[in-house]
Amino acid sequence: MTLWLCLHLPQLPLEALPSAQPEQARVVLDSQQRVFRLDPHAQAAGIRCGMTLSSARGILPQLLSQPREEHQEREVLRSLAAWAMQFSSRISLSGSDALLLEIGGSLRLFGGLDALCQRIATGLDELGYSASPGIAPTPRGAEVLAHGDNPQPALDMAQLQQQIQTLPLAGLNWDARSLKRLDAIGISRIGQCLALPRDGFRRRYGAAHLKDLDRLTGRSADPRALYEPPPTFDRSLDVIGDMTDISYLLPGFEHLFSLLQAELQGRDRGVQRLHIEMRHRAHPPSRIDMGMQRANCDAAHWLNLLNEHLQRHPLVAPVRTISVRAQDFVEPARQQQDLWQNHNLEQRQLVLERLTARLGPAALYALQACATHVPECASQRAAAGQGQALVQTETPRPLWLLPSPQRIEFSHLQLCSRAERLESGWWDAHCQRDYYRARDRLNRQLWVYRDHQQPSHWYIHGFFA
């Protein structure tokens, strides 16, 4: 089942700009110095979108204003797209304030639609962003529902057709001239527009609008460009006024760290070194290289480390711009626990006996090490509970080993490690191989090797989790 989730972020212009005083009323201004977005404090005071800054300050003199930073909004949207990759492999940017996720293939993994949506909403809230969701079997339908007032998901085409009937045409973001012409003949809803004769609609309002309606209803294909995250993280943020107080800089760094954490969570990666730069007006930039003992993706930990650095090295001059850069994304260190850590021998035996009774004796077995370096011959099956500990290796081994190696073209691989030579003895079926950790075009982590007897042949032997 194909199902799309659109996450519309209406407050992105405001949320993309951190505030050193979150309890103070704040607005974002457009190029005409009018209120473009406002926070709940400003709204409660009576300020509305479209007001001039002078009128808003007349209502609330202590109002904090910031100019809109569209570049910063795009950077935040890209970071959220990378974060969303933990929920779906198909992510697209939708305009300047929305994301599209194909979630049909993720429902079973995350326990159903409600559980998945709740997990995404909780994650966005923890990152400090609010989103209006729209769910439909077509990407255009998900966009329209996310920008409308109806939060109910449309799980199939029949539900989508029903829900879009009463939605206003303004939700399609068509040009003002076409909307005005349609309104002149009494057409203000999408359902009314769909009821018009197709040929006449195409002649009067253009083929582009008809094609948009076809994409909305699934009558026409709607391919979307998938988001590809960059290999490094490099973000900057301009400081409001020249700041010399560390406490006013930390919210900006917290914002940048949260973006980096979001990207790393989506990729299941961590960093072990961060490069911090603070630019001044009349002095050379101040730089801090933060190294950590273990790779992680913990924004709160990075902020605490940076605070310690800044307390030890006071600022030499007021700061205009701050930036965070990370280059090497690595697998984070994890603490794996033993399955039987909290069970005694008797409890283990009871569990094994129940599994054997339920699944059959052939479905449950242990592994026993064999004295050979050839991976496919290095272990053999033994009775459940009778296996021996396998030999630990310095280099990681894949959890999933294929029954037999499969050929692959080298042009499809990106090697991620140095070669590990594995060679069997003369008394065994002689083989000489160089093994590598690699990625393919689908970003899967593979265990591959090159056979020295056939140097041009490459094989997949396993998959890393």
Beta-bridge partners for 438:
415, 446
Q: pLDDT tens across 93-125, in order?
A: 998 999 999 999 999 999 999 999 999 999 999
> Strands of 286-296's sheet, edge to edge?
233-243, 319-326, 271-280, 286-296
DSSP 125-183: HHHT---EEEEESSHHHHHHHHHSS------SHHHHHHHHTTSBGGGG---HHHHHHHH
Quote the pLDDT of residue 338. 62
Average of per-residue pLDDT across 353-367 = 80
399, 465 Cβ separation under 8 angstroms: yes
Can you state the angle between helices 198-205 and 176-184, rounded to 10 degrees? 130
Closest residue by Cα to residue 42 from 12, 28, 31: 28
Token pair 């255009």 in the structure block, residue: 140
Q: pLDDT tens across 306-345, in order?
A: 998 888 888 888 888 999 999 888 887 666 666 656 666 6
Name the residue with higher pLDDT: 275 or 371.
275
- The pTM of the whole model exceeds 0.85: no
Q: pLDDT tens across 51-107, in order?
A: 999 999 999 999 989 899 999 899 999 999 999 999 998 999 998 999 999 999 999
